[in-house]
Structure 1
């Protein structure tokens, strides 16, 4: 049985952080493996900046860090699910249907995780 909290931090929050880090890493690896050409550098650069910019934005606003991490986690895992571990498919030919599926999966994941964690 999992502990209720770890040094005062709820276990559910730790799980969200770990899932977020794993999702970020999986998207990074698949982008690195799959993208070629001039789009590769900017895509990897912006993906690398996403966690830091999210933390900075939440600290400037003053709240919402956990909610933002939940949203990012849902988005990254939905991206991997919808594109079949090939994120470049999201903008490839016929990508509008995948984009809609990604948005729907990310929204559903965010709502589900929000209800479980918050």
Structure 2
């Protein structure tokens, strides 16, 4: 049986953070592999700043970083699922259909994970 907490930090929070980091790293690898040309630098820069910027935004608005971590993990794993590990497909070849699928999967995953983790 798994412990409920590790030094006072719930295991579910650690699981969300691990999923968030793994999703971020997978999208970063896809961006590094797939993007070429002048859009590569700004895309990699924006992706690198995203976790800190979103956590800061949520803290300024008054929500905790757990909400941000759940939303980011859902976004990155939905992006991986919809684009097949090639994030450049989201806009390059997918059109609005792939973008809509990404938004729908992200919303469903965020809602489901939020209900499971937050109660």
Instruction: Assess same fold via TM > 0.5.
Output: yes
Displacement of 1:94 in angstroms is 3.6
Normalising by structure 1, we get a TM-score of 0.95
| Structure 1 spans left out of the alignment, 5+ residues | none
Aligned to 1:76: 76
Aligned to 2:33: 33
Deviations 1:7-65 (A, max 9, x none): 11111010000000000000001100000011100000000000111222233233231
Displacement of 1:115 in angstroms is 1.1
Displacement of 1:104 in angstroms is 0.6
Superposition pairs for residues 1-118 of structure 1, below 5 Å?
A: 1-118=1-118
Give the count of matched residue pairs.
Answer: 118
Q: Quick check: 67-76 or 48-57, which moved more?
A: 48-57
Normalising by structure 2, we get a TM-score of 0.94
What CA distance in whole angstroms lies between the structure 2 residues aligned with 1:2 and 1:9? Answer: 13
Deviations 1:53-78 (A, max 9, x none): 12222332332311111000000000
Deviating beyond 6 angstroms after TM superposition, the runs of 4 or more aligned structure 1 residues are none
